[in-house]
Structure 1
């Protein structure tokens, strides 16, 4: 170690001397000095360069690529590669330890989201994740050293991963440096060796992920026999929102596609989710009785059903099969025992309601979002478990239809993912409709006696009993990941029990994709359809072309009165992520259209980056909030700031004018005081 430090010091002094003498170091002088030192004292030169490289890497100096090129120029391919490979790994380990003991608290406080992703990758793949970062230097090597030090990765695994992961790039850079050293000694500038090195440098970021994927695929496919020909280009499992869009895109691209559905075409959205729930909300809001409301729901479903029917998709050229799908191997799916060979598979199996194991619940007249529509008579007393979007929507609808509704939520407030003021607005609206809202109450058991059914709930060690005629379970949904062969294929699940996919929606097998609720991370019909388009394109065109979906702006709407709409982060999430942000708020009480309709409840709340008009998120509470949200969603998707939205012409009087109004408030807040003072003097001068 002493020899390395002395060598590094000598090397630094030599470089400094050259720089001082010539004011600006000449690379040729530097190389001549290094060549002379290497020729006369090879061990000292090697140790000096080695030590200097270790120190530079440990201190995270930028320019490691130049040092690597220099090692090739001075020592040649073999010795230069040996030097850089070990020196870079040792220096990286020192930086790793420095970050772990000195920088952890500082960095985590400022970039929590980034380190959460890194930790997730380390927890999932360990050293392999780090090797992938080393092989594809999307993040500079010195940054990887510091980032890794903030994780729980052990030093030994970090060193081994660094040694392996950096070696290909080291070899290419050293080779390029050795080639550059020959310039001026030969007539030709672009020697084959140099051209090869430059080409390898260019293709490394592209080739390494493909090679890594190919090796992973080879490992996954090793126990399966791939057929020589296929009956189909694509088989889609599930005819809900994701499956229908996948099949539609595939047929539009003239692929031969089979769509398999076990129950009803259209999936949950058409038959038990979006369509019937919105029809029920509309009927309840407009004063229908329960019989009329059920008829309205049935009419809505029947009116949309032809869009998702077997006949329509058959007319598009899709082979629609109704039955139980089973994936037999990566290229074969059976439908009720009939085998179909296929080039690719897309899993779009959706999700189903989660029913908690509450004692006595299974023996009670409970309903879920799927079975709610089978109720023929309006329950006099309805208890709803869950204060999320579904629970709040159904609580309001049934209260307006005439039920005595009690909403039970375990958390301290409704709509737990939203800001406090949104939760308060929702609770106020529901109570206004006659709903009994019980937050902070945990359901313990369901009892049955001569007086009927009762829910026993606890809040701060105090028990209450709630009588009901029907209980609706609305506490979430779980992905459908069993019954069609995932276990036999070894396809992994995430912690959320969704199918594990990469950024291109590929599973463990590159020709099997998953999208929609079964893949997550969102359980919205619109994100299912959005993902489905990418899944179809990637399934048909990979590995020649691949397309990555972006979740930069994912909107969500709760269709109560008032509506709750959001895209991006809200203030609660901005605080949790330690973002530097500003809030701009506009009240509908100031909007002409709202005043004209005497419907002024609600607001628009925009989160922007501090000092910038870049939109990080928007929350809207009020009538038609979901429609207004689209303007902000488009802006976020295409990186348009509030200043751009301010320059748009909005029809008057409409609620969409709230977009311009909130943008105007932001602009006023960021007006330059000095600029306004100069304008005032300018106008005074013009008045004479």
Structure 2
């Protein structure tokens, strides 16, 4: 008898709707904790991250950076997706004790769902249906066949000209990748700078990097309409300019896949954007109904979806009511823009830290020996600390956040996240021995600024309106004019 039939015959403890990062994590951890789990998926297992998001985009970026041709890059994308998808397929889930049903689910209430006419029941239902790319309401955009991250990786000839609508993380990453693969790229962003949610200095450096790769950047630009004639797409801007392109890629946002689930009939709370509202345990306001990942108000990142899936699985399978519930970690959520250089951020930004008396230590990469050895000095580490309750700034206070622009910023940000998670004194990070010469020494150098002046710089009060990047100064001259770092280390 098939695994699915066994589940249907014996009953299911957990029904997971959605096979992306959130759903797979929920199902896996619930099964490990002894639950009978059935996963319902209308799309390919692995979801957006594996097939149309993180995996293909980062593969394309890597291939472009290595000088691959467009066809070689796309082939590498599809090989990588296939390899990772093979670790998330039905056979793999079956070995973990998880049954899989293909189809679309609709909530019926009282622990039941309809999957294409077949009713399944469970004590707990977890909605993990994710999100998809959303097209803005620009006349003609849909008619011209605009691409999104769900379609841009399909095999096709390389476009000679690509217009990217949206200067957020996805837009910047794909713009740089296509430019390095030989396409003429124009990025159009309605805000006054790229990456408007990031530190202004980070935005400036990414803009400079894209322009160095030949990308034309238009900020403060509104696209009024779109048309296509004789195979050429054209974006009509609010300033009267027309931007012609062979293809148009839209990267302006995503919408949750919450329609058609039957939420209204059950009275499930959703926000204005149609995200399912959950508390920090991942429970909805309907008993026995949970939600994780991008379909909720806290989605947006694969790692958040995974964390929510783990939290939901633990809370669903706890054996005693008196056991404390797990809660989603909202204070320490890292994010990374995988351009070159990368931009990574966790915790408070400088402007947010200004409201709580935060202080900022900033190290330019031209004061970091590893950056000098590799000739990649365009970037910085900005570490933010603030006073502790009662203890104030003793031991340098506590770490509140960081913004890093560097070739390996995404790897560096984890150390800051750990420091925040463990409520570490800033002095502990300054005291921790880092191997020389490494990129991570920049974190130690920044933490040291809360105690000493190094390379002519020390910690300063956080600004509510931080400016752009520090002016470029010759690294050799700066280092020769400043005293060496103290031999001792700060005591926390």
TM score, norm. by length of structure 2: 0.86
CA-to-partner distance for each residue in 1:347-381, whole Å, 9 max, x for gaps? 11100101112111111031011011114111111
| C-alpha distance in 1 between matches for 2:110 and 2:261 | 12
Name the SS for the 2:449 alignment partner.
helix
Q: Contact 2:189 / 2:221 at 8 angstroms: preserved in 1?
A: yes
Q: Contact 2:335 / 2:345 at 8 angstroms: preserved in 1?
A: yes
Name the SS for the 2:113 alignment partner.
strand
The alpha carbon displacement at 1:231 in A equals: 1.3
Say yes or no: does 1:563 pair with 2:347: no
Q: 1:477 aligns with which of 247, 254, 263?
A: 254
| C-alpha distance in 2 between matches for 1:451 and 1:264 | 32
Q: 1:650 aligns with which of 427, 430, 434?
A: 434
Matched with 1:463 is 240
Q: 2:378 aligns with which of 601, 616, 636?
A: 601
Matched with 2:298 is 521
The alpha carbon displacement at 1:543 in A equals: 4.1
| C-alpha distance in 2 between matches for 1:430 and 1:330 | 53
Matched with 2:106 is 326
| C-alpha distance in 2 between matches for 1:574 and 1:476 | 27
CA-to-partner distance for each residue in 1:332-355, whole Å, 9 max, x for gaps? 122222211100011111001011
Say yes or no: does 1:312 pair with 2:96: no
Say yes or no: does 1:553 pair with 2:332: yes
CA-to-partner distance for each residue in 1:582-616, whole Å, 9 max, x for gaps? 11001111111111111111110011115443111
Unaligned 5+ segments in structure 2 are 1-8, 388-392, 460-492
Alignment root-mean-square deviation, CA: 1.6
CA-to-partner distance for each residue in 1:43-86, whole Å, 9 max, x for gaps? xxxxxxxxxxxxxxxxxxxxxxxxxxxxxxxxxxxxxxxxxxxx
Q: Which protein, 1 or 2, shows the higher relative CO under an 8 Å CA cutoff with sep ≥ 6? A: 2
Q: Contact 1:354 / 1:478 at 8 angstroms: preserved in 2?
A: yes
The alpha carbon displacement at 1:549 in A equals: 2.0
| Pair 543,509 (structure 1): closer, same or farther in 2 beyond 3 Å | farther
| C-alpha distance in 1 between matches for 2:273 and 2:348 | 21
Q: 1:398 aligns with which of 167, 171, 178?
A: 178
Name the SS for the 1:431 alignment partner.
helix
Name the SS for the 1:402 alignment partner.
coil
Unaligned 5+ segments in structure 1 are 1-228, 672-688
Instruction: Judging by fraction of residues, say which structure has more strand.
Output: 2
| C-alpha distance in 1 between matches for 2:368 and 2:294 | 38
Q: Contact 1:384 / 1:405 at 8 angstroms: preserved in 2?
A: yes
| C-alpha distance in 2 between matches for 1:510 and 1:381 | 52
CA-to-partner distance for each residue in 1:90-129, whole Å, 9 max, x for gaps? xxxxxxxxxxxxxxxxxxxxxxxxxxxxxxxxxxxxxxxx
| C-alpha distance in 2 between matches for 1:520 and 1:289 | 39
The alpha carbon displacement at 1:507 in A equals: 0.8
Matched with 2:133 is 353
Say yes or no: does 1:241 pair with 2:2: no
The alpha carbon displacement at 1:290 in A equals: 0.5
The alpha carbon displacement at 1:649 in A equals: 2.0
Q: Contact 1:513 / 1:539 at 8 angstroms: preserved in 2?
A: no
Q: 1:493 aligns with which of 249, 253, 270?
A: 270
| C-alpha distance in 1 between matches for 2:230 and 2:40 | 47
Greater alpha carbon shift after TM alignment, 335-344 vs 488-497:
488-497
Q: Contact 2:16 / 2:128 at 8 angstroms: preserved in 1?
A: yes
Name the SS for the 1:667 alignment partner.
coil
| C-alpha distance in 2 between matches for 1:641 and 1:345 | 41
Say yes or no: does 1:583 pair with 2:363: no
Q: Contact 1:516 / 1:531 at 8 angstroms: preserved in 2?
A: yes
Q: Contact 2:267 / 2:286 at 8 angstroms: preserved in 1?
A: no
Q: Contact 1:330 / 1:512 at 8 angstroms: preserved in 2?
A: no
Name the SS for the 2:331 alignment partner.
coil
The alpha carbon displacement at 1:503 in A equals: 2.3
Q: 2:55 aligns with which of 258, 275, 295?
A: 275
Greater alpha carbon shift after TM alignment, 363-372 vs 274-283:
363-372
Name the SS for the 1:530 alignment partner.
helix
Matched with 1:148 is none
CA-to-partner distance for each residue in 1:547-581, whole Å, 9 max, x for gaps? 22221210000000000000011113334xx2211
| C-alpha distance in 2 between matches for 1:258 and 1:238 | 11
Q: Contact 2:233 / 2:248 at 8 angstroms: preserved in 1?
A: no
Matched with 1:363 is 143
| C-alpha distance in 1 between matches for 2:353 and 2:155 | 42
Q: 2:452 aligns with which of 658, 668, 683?
A: 668
| C-alpha distance in 2 between matches for 1:330 and 1:281 | 46
TM score, norm. by length of structure 1: 0.62
Greater alpha carbon shift after TM alignment, 447-456 vs 615-624:
447-456
| Pair 414,330 (structure 1): closer, same or farther in 2 beyond 3 Å | farther
Larger Rg: 1
